[in-house]
């Protein structure tokens, strides 16, 4: 009996002793969602006894730092916090480990996480989303609710002024509020970049089109693609001429300065528009998912989906501690606790939490859009995905906007190049 007690005490002491030295090393960029989850790191240690350490890099070179560290083979972190767009390359190279192979992963409630299907590759789960957002439209509620504007809009277009649910409404509203130089109908991101490509992708998907078919052949030069690209051009007529040089940060600044009625941005924009330090439109804006054509209004279609989340390094010696961290930080209560510091949680239970809704009323539009769409990453989740969108789609959109090519020419040339790229990489012969 006494021997048993001694053994139990020894075992417990051993556990306590082991936990005293347990730690997990996190690596991330400098950004608002990282600042949010950092706020629960102490709670994690209190609850589990595992110390979480973090090293952060400037966003501009974070991915390069990660890749250089992985390729050098001397990895000193367990949990890289990455963009969803990065994980396929990391998984293909074997730098990150399948989370579903770590004991205890079943305790993660995956059903509750929107867009989780994008985190699986070849039957393995590599990525647990923490921050989720959609591409959509942020709009000025003060203008949309102004009785004078409502009357004027009804008189001109014959229907009620409401946040745009169809592409037709979206264009009408942009035209209606186009009052340069004080106010522009819509803010777009026209610099030759991935941001510009998103304007095309959203319209392509909204029309039921796709980038690649099941055989990985490019199909974005379809009739839907050409219409989508032409519509991007039309929408730029209601934007600030300077918008042709904008990226996300510039577009956000224009909207928060109150210089446009709508902006084609992502949900995170709301965290900045509601910040009195940076915005002149606090309490005067909201978010709605990207509109569709009238005839496809009620269809569940792809919508631009951006996610950041946690992965586990293959070189990690603390995989179980890494999983413990992921389980802890993505628990609903912890997501809700951290969100006010700058995050849009990935769990439905978090975004539908009453405290969250009270703090961020615009989550209603986001939640509805998330439920009624197929969250689709802005680049195909293959190692060549970034190149397809950055090197071929974005230049095609830019060439069309500059007038150097027709929509059909620009898309056909891009499709040929993408086809060649995928052929060269062995997707087909």
Partner 1 sequence: MSKSKIIKVLSMTIVVIALIWTLYPLMWIVFSSFKTPIDQFTIPPKWIPENFTLRNYKIFFSNTEFVRAFFNSIIVTAFSTILALILGIPAAYGLARFKWKHASLLSFIILLARMTPPIVMVLPFFLISRILNISGTYIPIILASSFFSVPFAVWMMQGFFSEIPESIEEAAMIDGCTRFESLRKIVLPLVLPGISATSILCALVSWNEFLFALILTGQETRTLPVLVNMFVSEKNVDWGVMSAAALITVIPMIIFGLLVQNNLVKGLTAGSGK
Instruction: Give me the residues that bind partner 1 (CB under 8 A), please.
Output: 29-32, 55-56, 58-61, 64-65, 68-69, 72-74, 181, 248-249, 252-253, 257, 259, 266, 268-269, 272, 277-280
Q: Which single residue is written with the structure tokens 């995170």? A: 268
- 221 versus 313: smaller Cβ distance to partner 1: 313
> What is the smallest separation between the CB atom of 363 and partner 1, expressed in angstroms?
18
> What is the smallest separation between the CB atom of 61 and partner 1, expressed in angstroms?
5
How big is the chain by its Cα radius of gyration, in Å? 24
- 153 versus 305: smaller Cβ distance to partner 1: 305
> What is the smallest separation between the CB atom of 256 and partner 1, expressed in angstroms?
8
Q: For strands 260-263 and 136-140, give the pairing.
A: antiparallel
> What is the smallest separation between the CB atom of 328 and partner 1, expressed in angstroms?
23
- 63 versus 120: smaller Cβ distance to partner 1: 63
> What is the smallest separation between the CB atom of 184 and partner 1, expressed in angstroms?
11
Neighbours of 105 (CB within 10 A): 17
Q: Is the dihedral of CA 194, 196, 202, 205 positive or negative?
A: negative
Q: Which single residue is written with the structure tokens 């803010």? A: 187
- 178 versus 348: smaller Cβ distance to partner 1: 178
Q: HEC string of 131-189?
A: EEEEEEEEEEHHHHCCHHHHHHHHHHHCCCCCCCCEHHHHHHHHHHCCECCCEEEEECC
- 58 versus 94: smaller Cβ distance to partner 1: 58
Tokens representing 356?
Answer: 């969250």
Q: For strands 79-83 and 301-310, give the pairing.
A: antiparallel
d(CA 115, CA 300): 14
- 56 versus 124: smaller Cβ distance to partner 1: 56
> What is the smallest separation between the CB atom of 394 and partner 1, expressed in angstroms?
17
> Residue 280's beta-bridge partner residues?
none
């Amino acid at each position: 009996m006494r021997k048993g007690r001694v053994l139990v005490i020894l075992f417990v002491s051993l556990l306590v002793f082991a936990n005293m030295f347990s730690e997990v090393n996190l690596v991330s960029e400098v950004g608002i969602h990282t600042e949010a989850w950092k706020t629960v790191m102490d709670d994690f240690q209190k609850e589990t006894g595992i110390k979480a350490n973090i090293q952060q890099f400037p966003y501009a070179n974070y991915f390069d730092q990660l890749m250089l560290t992985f390729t050098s083979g001397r990895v000193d972190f367990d949990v890289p916090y990455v963009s969803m767009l990065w994980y396929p390359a990391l998984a293909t190279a074997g730098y990150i480990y399948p989370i579903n192979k770590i004991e205890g992963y079943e305790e993660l409630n995956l059903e509750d996480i929107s867009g989780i299907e994008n985190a699986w590759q070849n039957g393995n789960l590599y990525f647990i989303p923490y921050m989720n957002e959609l591409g959509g439209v942020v709009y000025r509620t003060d203008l949309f609710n102004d009785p004078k504007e409502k009357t004027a809009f009804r008189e001109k277009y014959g229907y009620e002024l409401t946040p745009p649910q169809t592409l037709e409404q979206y264009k009408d509203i942009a035209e209606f509020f186009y009052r340069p130089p004080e106010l522009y109908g819509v803010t777009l991101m026209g610099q030759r970049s991935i941001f510009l490509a998103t304007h095309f992708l959203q319209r392509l998907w909204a029309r039921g089109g796709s980038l690649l078919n099941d055989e990985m052949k490019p199909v974005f030069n379809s009739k839907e693609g050409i219409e989508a690209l032409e519509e991007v051009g039309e929408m730029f007529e209601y934007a600030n001429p300077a918008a042709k040089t904008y990226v996300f940060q510039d577009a956000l600044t224009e909207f928060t300065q109150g210089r446009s009625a709508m902006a084609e941005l992502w949900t995170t924009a709301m965290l900045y528009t509601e910040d009195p330090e940076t915005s002149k439109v606090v309490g005067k804006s909201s978010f709605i998912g990207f509109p569709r054509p009238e005839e496809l209004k009620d269809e569940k279609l792809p919508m631009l989906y951006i996610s950041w989340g946690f992965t586990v390094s293959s070189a990690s010696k603390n995989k179980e501690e890494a999983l413990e961290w992921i389980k802890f930080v993505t628990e609903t209560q912890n997501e809700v606790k951290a969100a006010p510091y700058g995050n849009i949680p990935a769990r439905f239970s978090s975004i539908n939490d009453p405290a969250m809704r009270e703090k961020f009323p615009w989550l209603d539009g986001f939640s509805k859009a998330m439920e009624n769409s197929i969250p689709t990453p802005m680049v195909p989740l293959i190692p060549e995905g970034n190149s397809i969108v950055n090197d071929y789609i974005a230049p095609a959109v830019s060439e069309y906007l500059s007038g150097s090519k027709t929509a059909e020419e620009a898309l056909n040339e891009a499709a040929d190049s993408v086809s060649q790229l995928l052929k060269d990489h062995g997707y087909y012969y």
